[in-house]
Chains A and B, each alone.
Chain A
Amino acid sequence: MSSLLSIKNLGVNFDTPRGSLEAVRGVDIEIPAGTSVGVVGESGSGKTVMCRAAMGLLQGSNVQRTGTVVFDGNELTAMTKEQVRDLFGSGMAMIFQDPMTALNPVRRIGSQISEGLRVRLGMSKKDALVRSKELLELVRIPNPTAVLKSFPYQLSGGMRQRVMIAIAIACNPKLLFADEPTTALDVTVQAQILQLLRELREDLKMSMVLVTHDLGVVAGNTDYVAVMYAGEVVEYAPTTKLFADMRMPYTEALLESIPKIDHKSGTRLSVIAGRLPNPTDRGVGCGFAPRCKYAQEKCHTQHPELQKDPDGHLYRCWFPIGEAL
């Protein structure tokens, strides 16, 4: 199977006054065409930075990106900013976590949707507005004509997220990065948005990278899952396989921290104790070792390499679950 997006040894460093901050290191991810890949991890694990770095959206003189990113035969990491930009919209697109802040507050919805169509596809203003209305209908916004003339602050959070999706899919992208598309929304709206993304993906034959901190979101919406921790991919497997046979203690801890419907009321919620390691000083051992209930001496002193099961299941652990110690 050919990969639509292939990320090899991606690293991102931020120069800060307190030293170099290693936000992402050694990430390898393959996104096969037509699939949906989940990227899971807790806040600060580098999910968002990884996606933005893959697309080349990290700006600033203090950002250093290493590794290679190949999208649809184009080596993004070897191209100029302008060349990469030509792939945005019809190649890659992104939807953002917080629909409150990701839409321009002072411009009407219509101009924000049609802008991409006019700039990228060269449509006339009139045609672009007609198409914008169709896009709003596609993302199931009631009364699209009125919404085209609205400002973002006049819409609800769920509506804004739909608008953002409309903007992202406007030029029929092959790959959609969805960066925590439902985190800022109510649970009922979350389900609607995920349903919408699923349908759009099928209708438009789009691949998707779905970033979330919620394993529950990943379960029904992705074909593969990459679990990230402290800037690294620590486990990668087909979604069904991951849930049936997880190898990485961190993934298990993440899963255990989801509240269960059959929990008795009054039961304490399970949490992962401790914090992510300091990103300016990652230490020598496994980043998860201080928080891991299976950790051994070796975990604190040696950084685990990526292991590969014969079936392609990847994990980064010296003592994976399911193996005799």
Chain B
Amino acid sequence: MLKISFWLKRIAQLLIVLLLVTFGVSLLLRLIPVDLATVLLPVGTENERDILRAELGFDKGPIGYYLQWLGNFVQGDFGKIYFSGGTEDVSAHLADAMPRSLLLMAYTQVIAIAIAVPLGVVSAYRAGRRADKIISNTLFTLSSVPNFAIALLLVIFVGVKFAWLPTLGYVPLSDGVWEHLKHMIMPVISLSLGLIATYTRLLRADMIAALREDYVTMAASKGLSDQRILWRHVLRPSSLTLLTSAALSMGGLIGGAIVIESLFATYGVGFEVFAAIAGRQYVALQSTVAVIALFYVFFNLVVDIASGFVDPRTRDRRVNA
């Protein structure tokens, strides 16, 4: 019972976070010293603008405007993108961009963790020895190269010189798994290298600390092999920082991968944000940021639940707290 009330409390907290974030963004938009209706309808008549003001709630105060936007948002009406020929629904844009971003994020995280975990385990086990030094130095070097530079190198060599992979575009999964993956490989590599370095370092540090614990000596005295001790006894209690860091990088991967998305023409959510800012589509911007915040909060909740399984102590500590 305690557990259920804990999760209800946690979800309520997250809802408050979402409300604060969206209200903050909403307030910021109202602080921009321009007439939003004029920006959205630069060539319309004043009468048309008045209609738009009433439709979007620009004529109300900041709170009234926010409540109207929120009412529409929870009903799935994310607003419109206005341009000279007419309007497009933000929801349609996001429905196209979100799967691209989510898949890009998922592949990046899976690859980063799948590579970082063995590297972290090896470098912690061989801490201070040659293997550790090679891994640490290589990753440090790679992580200090910005991801767009890596992306450009990939484009030049893998894409153009050897022409192994397409350099532009996105192909949905429904058009063929291999075609889809071919277009994802280079963006995923570009985004994951930095994360691999971060994750490896975090895991290495936590594992080195855990390797000094009595329960490791205890496990050794049971006659277990080093391999078994590392993977079965040390990795799990050492992976909480890694998990937390992975959760924190979700937001950046969904909404902040704009450079990589542009370079490879993946056009995910990050690009939508950029397009909304560049085109001064403030309503679209507000709704897109809200959707990113929603996913960010959701993934953090998932990681919260996951860490309870990784380390049961955190689960009960929360119940007691």
Contacts and interface: CB of A to CB of B under 8 A. Distances in A.
B310 A88 contact: no
A87 to B, nearest CB: 8
A52 B214 CA distance: 12
Given A102-B215, A106-B313, A88 B222 contact: yes
B233 A107 contact: yes
A119 B225 CA distance: 9
A105 B215 contact: yes
B3 interface: no
Interface stretch (A89-97, A237-245, A253-261): A89-97
Contacts of B237: 104-106
* Interface bin, chain B: 20 to 34
A85 interface: yes
Nearest to B236: A106
A86 interface: yes
A128 to B, nearest CB: 12
B228 A119 contact: yes
Nearest to A111: B232
Interface in B284-321: 310-313, 316
Contact of A167 (B222, B311, B312, B313): B222
A98 B220 CA distance: 16
A120 interface: yes
A55 interface: yes
Contacts of A87: 223
Contact of B233 (A57, A101, A104, A167): A104
A57 B220 contact: yes
A57 B132 CA distance: 22
B221 A55 contact: yes
B223 A116 contact: yes
Contact of A164 (B218, B224, B310, B311): B218
B10 to A, nearest CB: 21
B312 A151 contact: yes
B217 interface: yes
Contacts of A151: 312-313
Of A85, A97, A98, A171, most buried by chain B (CB within 10 Å of CB) is A85
Interface string B201-218: 000000000000111011
Nearest to B238: A106
Nearest to A58: B217
B221 A61 contact: no
B214 A88 contact: no
B61 interface: no
A251 B70 CA distance: 79
B176 interface: no
Nearest to B309: A106
B221 A153 contact: no
Interface in A150-168: 151, 153-154, 164, 167-168
Contacts of B129: 61
Nearest to B219: A104
A17 B233 CA distance: 30
A106 B220 contact: no
Contacts of B222: 88-89, 93, 115-116, 119-120, 167, 170
Interface of B: 128-129, 213-215, 217-225, 228, 232-233, 236-237, 310-313, 316
Interface of A: 52, 55, 57, 59, 61, 82, 85-89, 92-94, 96-98, 101-107, 115-116, 119-120, 151, 153-154, 164, 167-168, 170-171
21 contacts: A57-B221, A61-B129, A85-B224, A93-B221, A96-B214, A102-B218, A103-B215, A104-B215, A104-B233, A104-B237, A106-B310, A106-B312, A107-B232, A116-B223, A116-B224, A119-B222, A119-B223, A119-B224, A119-B225, A120-B223, A153-B316
Q: Top 8 A-B pairs ranked by shortest CB distance?
A: A88-B223, A102-B214, A116-B222, A101-B214, A94-B221, A89-B223, A104-B215, A102-B218
